[in-house]
Amino acid sequence: MKRMLSGIKPTGQLTLGNYIGALKNFVAYQDEYEMIAFIANLHCITVYQDPQELKKNLKDAVALYLACGLDPNKATVFLQTDVLEHAQLGFIMSCNTYMGELNRMTQFKDKQAKGETNLTAGLYTYPTLMSADILMYDADYVPVGEDQKQHVELCRDTAIRFNHKYGDTFKVPEPLVPKVGARIMSLSDPTKKMSKSDHGDKGCIYLLDDLNVARKKIMSAVTDSLAKVQFDPVNQPGISNLLQIHSSLSGVSIDDLVKQFENSGYGEFKKAVADVVCQELSKIQAAYKDVIASGQIEAVLEDGANKARRIASRKLSKIQRKIGIEIRKR
Ligand code: AQP
């Protein structure tokens, strides 16, 4: 069975973008692949997080993984920090990645361009930790939204270079980017990605948003004055984004949705999108409550960490012997 690895960093509450671009696909793939789904909590602290809020977000993220349908009997679900080998391989990968490569990463450049000050070294080097996360498990595939594709490509380049230098060590992974919904945009500024760290922004739907709040955000989504429901991300980014959201959740193709709403006003179309979103959120939120009430999170994380650790410790030892830094038999 081919292996798939995926992760999310809960720097806030998980969003509809995380769900459509990533989480929903982890669930869909868990029967076909051996799924390793972790919570990237080290990646969270590349930007300061309030410790109490972070703990809550981590717990909610695990609960949402399960509520969205990840089955811990099929998938290995764990916290990155419970497997110490990630940080160690992260350092090794940072010694096998060039600064020129990191300088080209658009996520970091975007944060820099926004004029954000006090950017940390951890934020700059986090793609090397992400390479470690993936390569540790010899993942065949990594399902990601569009924004993370560049990081998986960097991981591939590093793996190829490492294999060339030290002999065949890593499987070179493939990114899997969904055809629809790979980049869900902000509802208040559809030229910008929907991001969980845009706190309090009307543009972002959180999976645990009150349904009335979610509906309001969709009904007030920024559109255009063309008054025609059609898929044209350049001239109608708002409407195109809503079409993607509807299509990803309902499974109806964008072409069919355009036909269905060709004579509708934007109000009617937005109501249909809000119905589909609220239906999905209501299912997720009911399952989330059950997961929290069941008290199963600790056990799932412990079991997942044990399984992941077994793979990671063997792999790290093999890597360290290849490089020449491990000299004693474990
Ligand atoms: N808007 C989005 N549309 C589609 N996919 C998305 N993903 C994130 N936002 C969207 C995908 O979700 C997975 C987990 O991403 P992440 O949370 O680890 O990091 P991120 O991409 O940096 O997400 P955010 O919400 O934008 O975080 P902040 O605000 O902290 O920077 C990835 O596969 C990602 O592609």
SS3 per residue for 138-167: CCCEEECCHHHHHHHHHHHHHHHHHHHHHC
Residues 209 and 171 in one domain: no
- Give the pLDDT score at 197: 77
Atom of ligand 1 nearest to the CA of 12: 30
Are residues 71 and 15 part of one domain? yes
C-alpha to C-alpha distance for 29 and 31, rounded to whole angstroms: 6
Ligand 1 pocket mutation pick from 48, 57, 114, 148 by most atoms within 8 angstroms of CB: 148
**Helices 51-67 and 266-294: angle between axes, nearest 10 degrees:** 100
Q: Does some domain include residue 142?
A: yes
Tell me, what's the pLDDT at 178? 86
Task: Tell me the per-residue pLDDT of 66-107, one tens digit each, with 9 for 90 and over.
Answer: 999 999 999 999 999 999 999 999 999 999 999 999 999 998
Residue 301 lies in a domain: yes
Asked whether 3 and 137 are in contact (CB, 8 A), the reply is: yes
3-state secondary structure of 116: coil
Planar angle of CA 91, 96, 102, nearest 5 degrees: 90
Same domain, 140 and 217: no
CA of 71 relative to ligand 1 center, distance in Å: 22
3-state secondary structure of 303: helix
List the CATH number of the domain containing 101: 3.40.50.620
Candidate list 9, 24, 196, 315, residue with the active-site label? 196
In order, the DSSP letters of 195-252 are -TTSTT-TT--BTTS-HHHHHHHHHT----SS------TTT-HHHHHHHHHHHHHH--
**Residue 181 pLDDT:** 86
Whether residues 59 and 141 share a domain: the answer is yes
- Classify residue 229 as exposed, middle or buried by CB count within 10 Å of its CB (0-12, 13-18, 19+): buried
Give the bridge partners for 5, in sequence order.
36
101 with 244, same domain: the answer is: no
Q: Which of 46, 109, 147 to mutate to test the pocket of ligand 1 (most atoms within 8 A of CB)?
A: 147
Estimate the share of the chain in helix, then strand, then coil, as percent rounded to the nearest 5. 55, 10, 35
Active site residue: 9, 24, 193, 270, which one? 193
What phi and psi values does residue 321 have, to the nearest 5 degrees?
-70, -40
- Helix axis angle, 266-294 to 211-219, nearest 10°: 150
Phi-psi group of 27: left, alpha or beta (phi > 0 → left; psi -120 to 50 → alpha; rest → beta)? alpha
pLDDT value of position 312: 98
Contact (Cβ atoms closer than 8 angstroms) between residue 143 and residue 70: no
Question: Residue 127 forms beta bridges with which residues?
Answer: none
Is residue 8 classed exposed, middle or buried when 0-12, 13-18 and 19+ CB atoms within 10 A define those classes?
buried
Nearest CA-CA partner of 157 in 121, 123, 128, 192: 128
Establish whether residue 196 lines the binding site of ligand 1, counting it when its CB lies within 6 angstroms of any ligand atom: yes
Domain-located, residue 330: no
Q: Do 173 and 263 share a domain, yes or no?
A: no
Q: Which atom of ligand 1 is nearest to the CA of 149?
A: 35
CA of 18 to the centre of ligand 1 (A): 5
Q: Is 268 exposed, middle or buried (0-12, 13-18, 19+ CB in 10 A)?
A: exposed
Q: Find the domain containing 255 and state its range.
A: 199-290
Mark 114-128 as b/e (b = at least 16 C-beta within 10 Å).
eeeeeeeeebbbbbb
- Does some domain include residue 259? yes
The whole-number pLDDT of residue 205 equals 97
303 and 176 both lie in a single domain:
yes
Residue 92 domain-assigned? yes
209 and 261 inside one domain: yes
Distance of CA 281 to the CA centre of its chain: 18
Catalytic annotation on 196?
Answer: yes
Residue 151 within any structural domain of the chain: yes
One domain, residues 277 and 170: no
pLDDT in tens, the chain (330 residues): 999 999 999 999 999 999 999 999 999 999 999 999 999 999 999 999 999 999 999 999 999 999 999 999 999 999 999 999 999 999 999 999 999 999 999 989 988 888 888 899 999 999 999 999 999 999 999 999 888 999 999 999 999 999 999 999 999 999 999 888 899 999 999 999 999 877 667 999 999 999 999 999 999 999 999 999 999 999 999 999 999 999 999 999 999 999 999 999 999 999 999 999 999 999 999 999 999 999 999 999 999 999 999 999 999 999 999 999 999 877
Whether 215 is covered by a domain: the verdict is yes
pLDDT of residue 199: 65
Q: What is the DSSP letter of 81?
A: G
Do residue 246 and residue 174 come from a single domain? no
Residue 191 lies in a domain: no
pLDDT in tens, 121-135: 999 999 999 999 999
The CATH number covering residue 245 comes to 1.10.240.10
CB neighbour class for 165 (10 Å; exposed up to 12, middle 13-18, buried from 19): exposed
Contact 221, 194 (CB under 8 A): no
Q: Kindly state whether residues 158 and 46 are assigned to the same domain.
A: yes
Say whether 2 is catalytic. no
Contact between 143 and 22 (Cβ < 8 Å): yes
Q: How many domains does the chain have?
A: 2
- Same domain, residue pair 304 and 286: no
Cα 157 to Cα 2, 18, 101, distances in angstroms? 21, 25, 10
In this predicted structure, what is the pLDDT of residue 179? 87
